[in-house]
Amino acid sequence: MKQERKPKDELARGLSDRHIQLIAIGGAIGVGLFLGSAQAIQTAGPALILAYAIGGLVIFFIMRALGELALFKPVAGSFSTYATEFVGPWAGFVTGWNYWFMWVVTGMAEITAVGVYTRYWLPDIPQWLPALGALLAVYFVNLIAVKLFGEVEFWFALIKVVTILVLIAVGLVMIFTGWGNDGQIVGFSNLWVNGGFMPFGTLGILFALQMVMFAFLGVELIGVTAGEAKDPAKTLPKAINNTIWRILIFYIGALTIIMSMYPWNKMDETTSPFVLIFAKVGIPAAAGIINFVVLTAALSSCNSGIFSTGRMLYTLALQRQAPGALGKLNSRHVPAHGTTVSALIMMIGVLLNYVIPEKAFIYITSVATFGALWTWGMIVYAHLKYRKKMGAQVKFRMPGYPFTNWITLLFLGLVAIQLAFNDETRIALLVGPIWLLILIISYQFVKKH
């Protein structure tokens, strides 16, 4: 008789519907919207709105493919498990370790960002100190219980949501009443009077797509929560279907308001558009407010990184693709060993900022860039293989299969090619494939043992 698995050996399903909904929102809204959108606006002009609409639709298809797989098998390993089952063990190994490393590197960058943002208020504090404090804080949050992780992530996401909604509300009032007008034209006409809606033509939209897609990094995190959601059959479809509306409101809505209130060609790439708009209405602490929001966004990303890397190591260990000790849970049903290993390696990031040259750190982070495209592509391809092998097992199905699968894969390939045309991202096309080759060679050794 097969022995039943003891409850203590199972992940706790402690994430409620509100946790899942806000984690999905938090994953879709990154630091890029608050800080990096100025550079994206200079690349495409008002047509950036169209770029986000196209990118958002592709992300929706990726999420629907992930959602169908997650409802078929709601496990913490998510896309690594699906890649193993429907593509092959090598694909699960490469995808799992690649995703783990992607979040570890992202975590290193985010804790460094926390140090930078903290010095806005405390310029004399050593940068490594708040970075270390942030890492220890999110580590202990993740170690205590998955419900606490969900609660912290809920409030982090809520701060971002409220900030964007306030911006949109203030913007609409200014546009329709003229309140806060500082002499510059405020209105929707700003979207087409300064060189037209597409001042850089189709190329502007194409070059903006890579920035758009990287802004969505983390949206796939909802798949990792599937193994710990209280009612995945109810909460996951709802969260995934709402993805497209969140992108419409929080990205397209916010950018439409920003470029209506402030001429796009007069924005400074180094200044957050949110700071410009809040300062425009006479809020003296505008820069401080946005710095606080970006600080919480960085903490949110680090928190998500600790969560996802711990679960990915846990899954890899269960699949015998990582040391067995990483597959053990503590008394609170948390993969403590995997979480601890990930946190320790992220801690190296604090040291790396002082030891290695800036270029070396760019090489490492380029792997994270490449890793996002690989992860999304593997989700869509694994879904293709799943449908061919299993058919439609759940009601929550990928719309337009298999046509939308292939369109999505071609789109991700186009974004990968565009990396070659940007000095800062070109290195990803060199480092990324080398990193995948290292993982494939490593798998050959793992397979033998």
In CATH, what number is assigned to the domain containing residue 304?
Answer: 1.20.1740.10
Could you read off the pLDDT of 133-170 as tens digits, one per residue?
Answer: 989 999 999 888 888 888 888 898 889 888 888 888 98
Q: How many domains does the chain have?
A: 1
Contact, 180 vs 280, CB < 8 A?
yes
Tell me, yes or no, whether 146 lies in a domain.
yes
Contact, 25 vs 157, CB < 8 A?
yes
Tell me, yes or no, whether 313 lies in a domain.
yes
Contact, 290 vs 323, CB < 8 A?
no
What per-residue confidence (pLDDT) applies to 4?
Answer: 36
Could you read off the pLDDT of 290-330 as tens digits, one per residue?
Answer: 888 888 888 888 888 888 888 889 888 888 888 888 888 88
Rounded Cα distance, 449 and 169, in Å = 59
Tell me, yes or no, whether 343 lies in a domain.
yes
Could you read off the pLDDT of 10-39 as tens digits, one per residue?
Answer: 777 777 778 777 777 776 777 777 777 888
User: Which of residues 109 and 148 earns the better pLDDT score?
Assistant: 148
- Give the rounded percent of residues in the chain with a pLDDT score beyond 90: 24
Tell me, yes or no, whether 248 lies in a domain.
yes
User: Containing domain of residue 30, as a range?
Assistant: 9-448
- pLDDT surpasses 70 at 59: yes
Tell me, yes or no, whether 247 lies in a domain.
yes
Q: pLDDT class for 261, splitting at 50, 70, 90?
A: confident
Please report, for residues 23, 69, 291, 376, the alpha-carbon distance to residue 389 in angstroms, rounded to integers and kept in the order given: 31, 12, 49, 20
Tell me, yes or no, whether 38 lies in a domain.
yes
Phi and psi at residue 285, to the nearest 5° = -95, 25
Contact, 422 vs 366, CB < 8 A?
no
- pLDDT surpasses 90 at 237: no
Tell me, yes or no, whether 2 lies in a domain.
no
Tell me, yes or no, whether 4 lies in a domain.
no
Name the pTM for this structure. 0.88
Q: Is 110 helix (H, G, I), strand (E, B) or coil?
A: helix
Contact, 315 vs 75, CB < 8 A?
yes
